[in-house]
Amino acid sequence: MIRVLFVCHGNICRSVAAEMVLRQMIDEARPGTLPEISVESMAATREEIGNDIYPPMKRALQARGYVCHRHAAYQTTRADYDRFDYIIGMDSENMYDMRRIYGGDPQGKLSLLRAWAGQPGREIDDPWYTRNFEGVLTQIEEGCRGLLEALKKQ
C-alpha cells in the first residue's frame, strides 16, 4: 500500500481539499489501474485542531462535485514521517515546518504538490488570504492528477 499525506498550515483548506480530491480521483479510477493508495491530511500547526473543512473551501469542493468526508484537523508529528511514503506540502512555510517536525527529510519523502504537476518550486496559493477558493482548487486538482499519474507507475 502507498500512503500519502498532505500537509498545510491548519488542515482546514488546502491539505484537506487535496485529500478529498485525491480520494475521489482514486475512487473514480478504472479498476485495476492503480496500486492500493491511502490518503490523509494533517496540519503543520495546532491552531485549527479539531476544526472541520473551512466553509468556503467546502463549498468550492461541493460545487465541483467532490464528496466532503467527515473531517477534524489534526497536527502531524515526527512519527508520521515513518508512516507515510509521500508527504506533500502546499507551500514553503509548510516545508519548513515539516522539516522541523520530522527532523529533516532523510528519505526524500517531502515535496510540494505543484511539483507533481510539473511546476517545481511553485506553491499552492493560500485561500485564507487570497479568498480565491476555486483557483486554489484548480491548482490542487492539477497537482493531484500529476501525483496520481506518477503513482500509477508504481
What is the pTM for the complete model shown? 0.97
The per-residue pLDDT for range 46-104, each reduced to its tens digit, is 999 999 999 999 999 999 999 999 999 999 999 999 999 999 999 999 999 999 999 99
The catalytic site residues sit at 8, 14, 126
Percent of the chain with pLDDT over 70: 100
- Dump the DSSP string for 114-138: GGGGT-TTPPPP-HHHH--HHHHHH
CB-based burial label for 93 (10 Å; 0-12, 13-18, 19+): middle
Q: Which residues contact 78 (CB under 8 A, 6 or more apart)?
A: 101, 102, 103
Cα 151 off chain centre by: 15
Which residue spans within 1-129 are E strands per DSSP? Answer: 2-8, 37-43, 86-89, 110-112
pLDDT, tens digit, 9 for 90 and up, residues 16-30 = 999 999 999 999 998
CATH number assigned to the domain comprising residue 57: 3.40.50.2300
Q: Which domain holds residue 120?
A: 2-152
Q: Which residues pair with 40 in a beta bridge?
A: 5
Burial class of residue 153 (count of CB atoms within 10 Å of its CB; 0-12, 13-18, 19+): exposed
Query: Please, what is the average pLDDT of the chain?
Result: 96
Tally of domains in the chain: 1
